[in-house]
């Protein structure tokens, strides 16, 4: 579950993840394609450090692409879904 707050804060709760962070949207949630950058607050999910996730969402195909970088893993492969 991903909660978005109007002030740029998010919270994610899912298997293996439970943390807060900040996000910025490029475009709007209603656009055919939009981008969101997330920076987590220090979390045990990331070895007590932060992580950045940059996602591109495409409504037409209901797909996303994600690039993630974390101090504990500098080589996280691109993810698609």
Question: pLDDT tens track of the chain, all 81 residues?
Answer: 999 999 999 999 998 888 999 999 999 999 999 999 999 999 888 889 999 999 999 999 999 999 999 888 888 999 999
Name the residue ranges covered by the structural domains of the chain. 25-80
Res 74: pLDDT: 84
Distance (Å, whole) CA 61 – CA 19: 29
pTM tops 0.95, yes or no: no
Tokens read off for 51: 């992580």
- Where b means 16+ CB within 10 Å and e means fewer, 18-53 reads ebebebeeeeeeeeeebebebebeebebbeeebbeb
Distance (Å, whole) CA 62 – CA 72: 30
Residue 71, SS3 per DSSP: coil
């Amino acid at each position: 579950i991903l909660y978005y707050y109007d002030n740029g804060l998010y919270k994610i709760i899912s298997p293996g993840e439970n943390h807060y962070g900040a996000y910025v949207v490029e475009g709007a949630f209603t656009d055919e394609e939009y981008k969101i950058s997330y920076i987590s607050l220090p979390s045990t999910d990331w070895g007590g450090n932060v992580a950045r996730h940059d996602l591109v969402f495409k409504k037409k195909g209901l797909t996303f692409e994600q690039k993630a970088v974390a101090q504990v893993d500098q080589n996280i492969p691109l993810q698609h879904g």
